[in-house]
Amino acid sequence: MIRAHGLTKRYGGKNPKTAVDDLSFEVRPGTVTGFLGPNGAGKSTTMRMLLGLDAPTAGRCTIGGRAYAAHTAPLTEVGALLEARSIHPGRSAYHHLMALAHTHGFPRSRVEDVLATTGLSDVAGRRVKGFSLGMGQRLGIAAALLGEPSTLILDEPVNGLDPEGVLWIRNLLKAQAAEGRTVLVSSHLMSEMAVTADHLIIIGRGRLLADTTVERFVRDSGSGSVKVVSPAAARLTELLAGPAVTITSDAPGTLDIRGTDAEHIGTTAAAHSIPLFELTPQSVSLEQAFMDLTHDSVEYGTPLEGAAA
Amino acid sequence: MTTDTLTRPTPAPTRSPYRVTTSRVLRSEWHKLWTLRSTWITLITAAALVLAVGITMGSTYDGDDSEIDTVVFVLFGTQLSQICLAVLGILVTAGEYANGMIRASLTAVPRRGPVLWSKAAVFTTVAFTLSLVTNVVTFLVAQLWLAGTDKELSLTDSGVLGALAGSAAAITLLSLIALALGALLRSVPGGIGAFVGAVLVLPEVIGTLPLDAVDTVVKYFPAQASSSLGSITPVDDTVSAGTGLLTLILWAAALLIAASALLKRRDV
């Protein structure tokens, strides 16, 4: 369980820039929580504060009930992958992990296990200098898994990965969550989160925009319009008219109806023997909904109401 | 929770065998130091330079430099090894900022202080041991040529071992100061610049000012305070070996304490 309360980070003295602004959220175990926001929204800063690397200007955050630094064996509590590489390129993958393992007294077998899990066993003796971006990410994940932590915090883990690597991380995160772990994973790609995450925390300009489930986010932010094609479009328009319903038409016989659902439209049409050639609920793409949400925050700096209650 | 091997039941923190301890952080830093090529290269270079210069001095000695202290004479190469070890000290701390390794180090040890103190302890042990062994070997090898000259001495002669060890201590403490500068400045070029500029050059420049007070103060600058440490006979116009050793320890301690305080306060 991760808790952030009133988390705020400001940089600079006289003319401070607010990177994270009064951010409060909870990340629960057993699900993958996507941490979304455009570049510069404050995701990495928030994650660094969770890990005690940056000190918050105000507010507090806890992982497993305590501040990160208060854990006696932090690597068994939290495994983290930071966006910027945190590996000395001159050391081999094995020795990098072994150096981290020594701080907690993890046995060599743990290092070998995570190397195998991340598919790095064959290159463990090679210096990280020669690693591809994907291998570097895998090594970062291996380090995160080293202490079998109950919480994973991963900053843009799919960045620069090939499709196979993306799929691997996606399955890994889901498996970790299914085992009861808390998984917080940041991304600026809604499409990736839609297939990986169950829960979403969306921020823009350091402020919370939405704290919701993927499903509800789609439903609430989707346009919810229904496309109808009928030879009796005008008659149908009259029948469906109501205070909450707006009907527009782009082409003769084609209607775009908002404020009601396909079931009601179909039933109404059937009751009046109106033939329908097409009755299609239009779901807005997740990417579009995400851009609509964050676009406003970026452009005007005004937070929208969270999509969830 | 499943019974999968990956899943541990959530244990009370005290029950787990895994915990960050001072000795484990020391072990981690020891491991980190020896798993980089740059460590081996700088250490071997430092030792080779002292030995090579010592052999050169010994084999070409013709009696002209009879007034120079014998240990100082055979260990002229330490002026070169000093640079190597200072650079290694800076790499140990500032090097982790260049590649982001510091974030991994401080995430593993969020109390932060033990990371710096362990680095200092491991580095001090390695630098002193290497310097002492190198100094003794170089002295003995140089004596193969110096036997029969006015610089013939044995290890057991009065003050010889003290000067060889003093020289190793001076190099180690000056390099430890470099390590602390690297931690304070968090930049390898910055650390090297600060060490060369502030420790090696600045006091020489200040020392040219025609003021007695300045002369006295400059004697307590790190490089100047170390002057008598590697010499059998006291060097003129410098503090004694004992005072010099204490002065160097205080400089290194003060800078490390400052670096530790900043390490705990600053964002990474």
- Specify whether the CB–CB gap between A184 and A30 falls below 8 A: no
Q: Locate A99 and state its tokens.
A: 């150096």
Report the percent of chain A where pLDDT is more than 90: 62
Contact across the interface for B19 and A51, Cβ inside 8 Å = no
- Specify whether the CB–CB gap between A241 and A290 falls below 8 A: no
Instruction: Summarize the confidence of residues B55-68 as an average pLDDT.
Output: 89
| Residue A84 CB partners (closer than 8 Å, separation 6+) | A44, B100, B103
Per-residue pLDDT tens over the stretch B27-37: 999 999 999 99
Distance from CA of A80 to the nearest CA of B (A): 8
- Give the pLDDT band of residue A296 (cuts 50, 70, 90): low
Check pLDDT > 60 for residue A309: no
Handedness of CA B133, B134, B139, B143 (dihedral sign): positive
| CA distances in angstroms from A42 to A46, A138, B263, listed in the order given | 6, 24, 23
Predicted local confidence at residue A59, as pLDDT: 96
Q: Given 3.40.50.850, 3.40.50.300, 3.30.2080.10, 3.30.70.250, which CATH number is that of A223-282?
A: 3.30.70.250
Instruction: Summarize the confidence of residues B188-212 as an average pLDDT.
Output: 92
Phi and psi (nearest 5°) for A187?
Answer: -165, 155
Distance from CA of B97 to the nearest CA of A (A): 9
Of the ranges A191-195, B17-21, B93-97, which one carries the lowest mean pLDDT score? A191-195
Contact across the interface for A74 and B20, Cβ inside 8 Å = yes
- Specify whether the CB–CB gap between A151 and A182 falls below 8 A: yes
Per-residue pLDDT tens over the stretch A125-155: 999 999 998 899 999 999 999 999 999 999 9
Predicted local confidence at residue A56, as pLDDT: 96
- Give the pLDDT band of residue A8 (cuts 50, 70, 90): very high
The whole model's pTM is what?
0.86
- Give the pLDDT band of residue B131 (cuts 50, 70, 90): very high
- H-helix or E-strand spanning residue B247: helix B241-265
Nearest Cα neighbor of A163 from A190, A189, A192 is A192
User: DSSP label at B234?
Assistant: P
- Give the pLDDT band of residue B151 (cuts 50, 70, 90): very high
CA distance A45 to A232: 56
Check pLDDT > 70 for residue A185: yes
Report the percent of chain B where pLDDT is more than 70: 94
Better-scored residue on pLDDT, A10 or B212: A10
Domain chopping of chain A, boundaries: 2-219, 223-282
- Give the pLDDT band of residue A306 (cuts 50, 70, 90): very low
Per-residue pLDDT tens over the stretch A258-267: 888 888 899 9
B16 to chain A: closest CA residue: A73
Per-residue pLDDT tens over the stretch A265-280: 999 999 999 999 999 8
Helical axes B37-59 vs B78-93, angle rounded to 10°? 170
- Specify whether the CB–CB gap between A170 and A189 falls below 8 A: no
Q: Does domain A2-219 have CATH number 3.30.1540.10?
A: no
Check pLDDT > 50 for residue A256: yes
Distance from CA of A81 to the nearest CA of B (A): 9
Q: Give the HSE-up count for residue B84: Cα atoms under 13 Å, Cβ half-sphere.
A: 21
Of the ranges A82-96, A292-306, B62-76, B106-120, which one carries the lowest mean pLDDT score? A292-306
Q: Locate B112 and state its tokens.
A: 């932060």
Contact across the interface for A90 and B37, Cβ inside 8 Å = yes
Predicted local confidence at residue A223, as pLDDT: 60
Q: Which residues from B are below 8 Å from A48, CB to CB? A: 267-268
Contact across the interface for B99 and A88, Cβ inside 8 Å = yes
Q: Which residues from A are below 8 Å from B18, CB to CB? A: 73, 75-76, 104-106, 147
CA distance A97 to A86: 12
User: DSSP label at B2?
Assistant: -
Better-scored residue on pLDDT, A109 or A13: A109
Check pLDDT > 50 for residue B230: yes
Q: What is the dihedral of CA A295, A300, A302, A304, to 10 degrees?
A: -30
Handedness of CA A233, A234, A240, A244 (dihedral sign): positive
- Specify whether the CB–CB gap between B165 and B76 falls below 8 A: no
Predicted local confidence at residue B15, as pLDDT: 63
| CA distances in angstroms from B242 to B106, B163, B170, B227, listed in the order given | 37, 11, 11, 11
Of the ranges A83-87, B70-74, B144-148, B196-200, which one carries the lowest mean pLDDT score? A83-87
Predicted local confidence at residue A303, as pLDDT: 46
Look over chain B and give the mean of its residue pLDDT values, rounded to a whole number: 92
Report the percent of chain B where pLDDT is more than 90: 83
Q: Which residues from B are below 8 Å from A50, CB to CB? A: none
- Give the pLDDT band of residue A221 (cuts 50, 70, 90): low
Domain chopping of chain B, boundaries: 22-265
A171 touches chain B (CB under 8 A): no
Predicted local confidence at residue B237, as pLDDT: 86
A126 touches chain B (CB under 8 A): no
- Give the pLDDT band of residue A246 (cuts 50, 70, 90): confident
Predicted local confidence at residue A225, as pLDDT: 79
Q: Which residues from B are below 8 Å from A75, CB to CB? A: 18, 107-108
Among A84-88, A183-187, A210-214, the range of highest mean pLDDT: A183-187
Cα B172 off chain centre by:
3
Check pLDDT > 50 for residue B5: no
Predicted local confidence at residue A260, as pLDDT: 83
Q: Which residues from A are below 8 Å from B7, CB to CB? A: 148, 179-180
A154 touches chain B (CB under 8 A): no
- What type of residue is B178? A
A255 touches chain B (CB under 8 A): no
Per-residue pLDDT tens over the stretch A52-70: 999 999 999 999 999 999 9
State the ipTM, two decimals.
0.90
Q: Which residues from A are below 8 Å from B265, CB to CB? A: 55
Q: How many CB pairs under 8 A join A and B?
A: 120
A91 touches chain B (CB under 8 A): yes
Q: Which residues from B are below 8 Å from A99, CB to CB? A: 28, 31-32, 35
CA distance A214 to B173: 59
Distance from CA of A109 to the nearest CA of B (A): 13
Better-scored residue on pLDDT, B183 or B15: B183
User: DSSP label at B10?
Assistant: -
Predicted local confidence at residue B2, as pLDDT: 43
If you write DSSP's letter for every residue of chain A in order, what string do you get? -EEEEEEEEEE-SSS-EEEEEEEEEEE-TTSEEEEE--TTSSHHHHHHHHTTSS--SEEEEEETTB-GGG-SSHHHHEEEE-SS--S-TTSBHHHHHHHHHHHHT--HHHHHHHHHHTT-GGGTTSBGGG--HHHHHHHHHHHHHTT--SEEEEESTTTT--HHHHHHHHHHHHHHHHTT-EEEEEES-HHHHHHH-SEEEEEETTEEEEEEEHHHHHHHHS--EEEEE-TTHHHHHHHH--TT-EEEEEETTEEEEESS-HHHHHHHHHHTT---SEEEEEPPPHHHHHHHHHHHHHHH--PPPPS--
Contact across the interface for A74 and B267, Cβ inside 8 Å = no
What residues pair up with A289 in beta bridges, in sequence order? none
Contact across the interface for A84 and B100, Cβ inside 8 Å = yes
Nearest Cα neighbor of A297 from A192, A206, A189, A193 is A206
Q: Give the Cα-Cα-Cα angle B12, B14, B20 (nearest 5 degrees).
A: 120
